[in-house]
Amino acid sequence: MGIMEVSEALQIAKEREIDLVEIAPNSDPRTCKLMDFGKFRYQQTKKNRGQKKPVNKRKEVKLRPKVGDHDFNVKVERARRFLSKGHKVLVTMMFRGREMVHVDLGMDLLHRFAGELEDCSKIEKEPSREARNRMNMILVNKG
């Protein structure tokens, strides 16, 4: 169209029943655009919706008080891999039957688990009993 006065641009916007949007108010001459502003905002929110950053998920590793050394090491390495990808790790100690009497063994095992991963993680939530038969601890990446 070319350069025109603001009053002319407003007149054209009223005739076409669209909005006159000021793009660069500090430039000389000021820059305006004729557009449907509601449609523009809708398209922007739709475009931004697809660009949301993925939320870090919480992964879970389950243990039992009678876990063997090899199984324990496998669980530690799995948790290390989750932590390296930026996930939080929920370590759950499951008790069954008479194991519930020896909660202290489960607590020691969770502290040992955290000790194995102290080079790459820190404890976000200390080990605590959540229910009658389970104990939880949350680890997060140090970085």
Taking residues 71-81, what's their average pLDDT? 96
For residue 86 the two structure tokens come to 């930026």
User: CATH code for 6-49?
Assistant: 3.10.20.80
Give tens-digit pLDDT for 20-58.
888 888 887 778 888 898 998 999 888 888 777 666 689
User: CATH code for 58-141?
Assistant: 3.30.110.10
CA-wise closest residue to 117 among 93, 102, 138, 134:
138
Q: Where in the chain is the domain with CATH 3.30.110.10?
A: 58-141
pLDDT of residue 80: 95
Q: Where in the chain is the domain with CATH 3.10.20.80?
A: 6-49
Of residues 10 and 29, more confidence is placed in 10
Taking residues 113-133, what's their average pLDDT? 92
C-alpha angle 4-33-48 in degrees, rounded to nearest 5 = 165
Q: What is the pTM of this model?
A: 0.61
